């Protein structure tokens, strides 16, 4: 029996590769069940965000090559397409990696708080699908406890920064006075809510929230004296927007080149600033080729993010000491199971 993590993230692969292996909410349960039906895979949790796709597995007989092959088969890809971008961790390294991920130490924005909630959701989805058993259950509960300790005992979470914060920081660099600007926010999840909050704090003139579920858009818009629309209404209102920030779970783009071209004509080619936080991307890549459009993806925000990393490096080093300690603690627990001859009973 062994622990294995395989994945692709923002450090190893560009967005054009990451979006090929993303697991949206509509396919994640089927993916979990497909993975645990593979011979030698006893338990599995899949974490899929805009910056990473990772599978955490308990194996008996299967190996990293089997899991990589499953990943490519599930997404209809050739192994050669993604194999240069895949990393893997085994046993102790799997534990340490998960602790780093959940604590925000492996994030594009060092110490960002959203990842812990995403890890918790990934585990809960696997638990509900009955693909996470006793061993991964113990590991993830241990992880949540350690991540909480790191946020309590270090400064890693002080002045929290997020992808949403980075997006708004870029907007402020382009538009010196946000009070004269209108922001269109596409989606209504946590990242968009954070973006709305940051924009509101910096005096944005007007907020429009577009979402597939109009009720959710309305609830979010009301918090910031905004206006809510449905996704099909975006072409009607796009010309009003100076700033567009998009983060949906749509498997296909929600904003195309033709729609943006029409909006630019109505705006008499006043510039539009766009940040596409989604993976797969919400905004067609060709939009970035249009004059008067400044399109950024999560991969384009590195400069804003690196400044944040420098200010948090000392806290990150303290957090790594905590992670090393608790990785050894969990490995000791695993060895004690083996030494006491309890592994077979534990599996039952």
Q: Are 273 and 174 in contact (CB under 8 A)?
A: yes
Looking at the fold, whether 206 and 150 belong to one and the same domain comes out as no
Looking at the fold, whether 109 and 180 belong to one and the same domain comes out as no
Looking at the fold, whether 176 and 274 belong to one and the same domain comes out as yes
Looking at the fold, whether 181 and 65 belong to one and the same domain comes out as no
Looking at the fold, whether 127 and 272 belong to one and the same domain comes out as no
Q: Report strand pairing: 293-297 vs 272-276.
A: parallel
305 found inside a domain: no
Nearest to 32 by CA among 108, 119, 109, 131: 131
Q: Which residue has the tokens 């910096």?
A: 202
Nearest to 49 by CA among 186, 146, 190: 190
| Per-residue tens of pLDDT for the chain, all 348 residues | 899 999 999 999 999 999 999 999 999 999 999 999 999 999 999 999 999 999 999 999 889 999 999 999 999 999 999 999 999 999 999 999 999 999 999 998 888 888 999 999 999 999 999 999 999 999 999 999 999 999 899 888 776 567 888 899 889 988 889 999 999 999 998 899 999 999 999 999 999 999 999 999 999 999 999 999 999 999 999 999 999 999 998 999 999 999 999 999 999 989 999 999 999 999 999 999 999 999 999 888 776 677 666 667 778 888 999 999 999 999 988 888 765 554 455 455
* CATH code for position 273: 3.40.50.720
Looking at the fold, whether 28 and 102 belong to one and the same domain comes out as yes
* CATH code for position 96: 3.30.460.30
CA distance 254 to 56: 31
CA distance 12 to 14: 7
Domain count, the chain: 2
At residue 10's C-alpha, the angle toward residues 53 and 217, to 5°, is 70
- 17: tokens are 């590769």
Looking at the fold, whether 293 and 320 belong to one and the same domain comes out as no
Q: Residue 291: exposed, middle, or buried by beta-carbon count in 10 A (0-12, 13-18, 19+)?
A: exposed
pTM of the model: 0.81
Nearest to 41 by CA among 33, 49, 52: 33
Catalytically active residues, by annotation: 50
Domain that holds residue 168: 163-300
Looking at the fold, whether 142 and 245 belong to one and the same domain comes out as no
Q: Are 185 and 194 in contact (CB under 8 A)?
A: no
Looking at the fold, whether 201 and 77 belong to one and the same domain comes out as no
Looking at the fold, whether 141 and 18 belong to one and the same domain comes out as yes
Looking at the fold, whether 251 and 126 belong to one and the same domain comes out as no
15 found inside a domain: yes
262 found inside a domain: yes
């Amino acid at each position: 029996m062994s622990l294995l993590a395989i994945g692709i993230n923002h450090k190893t692969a560009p967005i054009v590769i990451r979006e090929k292996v993303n697991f949206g909410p509509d396919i994640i349960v089927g993916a979990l069940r497909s993975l645990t039906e593979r011979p030698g895979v006893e338990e599995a949790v899949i974490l899929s965000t805009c910056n990473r796709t990772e599978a955490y597995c308990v194996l008996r007989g299967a190996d990293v090559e089997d899991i990589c092959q499953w990943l490519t088969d599930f997404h209809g890809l050739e192994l050669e397409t993604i194999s240069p971008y895949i990393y893997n961790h085994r046993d102790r390294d799997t534990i340490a990696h998960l602790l780093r991920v959940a604590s925000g130490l492996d994030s594009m924005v060092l110490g960002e708080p959203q990842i812990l909630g995403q890890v918790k959701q990934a585990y809960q989805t696997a638990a509900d699908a009955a693909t996470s058993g006793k061993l991964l259950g113990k590991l993830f509960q241990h992880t949540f406890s350690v991540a909480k300790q790191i946020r309590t005992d270090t400064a890693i979470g002080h002045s929290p920064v997020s992808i949403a914060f980075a997006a708004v920081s870029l907007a402020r660099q382009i538009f010196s006075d946000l009070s004269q600007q209108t922001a269109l926010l596409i989606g209504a999840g946590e990242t968009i809510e954070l973006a709305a909050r940051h924009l509101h704090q910096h005096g944005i003139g007007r907020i429009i929230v577009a979402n597939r579920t109009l009720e959710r858009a309305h609830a979010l818009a009301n918090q910031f004296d905004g206006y809510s629309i449905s996704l099909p209404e975006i072409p009607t209102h796009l010309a009003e927007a100076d700033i567009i920030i998009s983060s949906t779970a749509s498997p296909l783009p929600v904003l195309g080149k033709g729609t943006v071209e029409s909006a630019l004509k109505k705006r008499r080619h006043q510039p539009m600033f766009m940040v596409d936080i989604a993976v797969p991307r919400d905004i067609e890549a060709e939009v970035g080729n249009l004059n008067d459009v400044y399109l950024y993806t999560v991969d384009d925000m590195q400069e804003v993010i690196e400044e944040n990393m420098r200010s948090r490096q000392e806290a990150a080093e303290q957090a790594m000491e905590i992670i090393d300690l608790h990785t050894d603690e969990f490995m000791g627990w695993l060895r004690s199971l083996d030494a006491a001859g309890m592994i077979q009973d534990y599996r039952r």
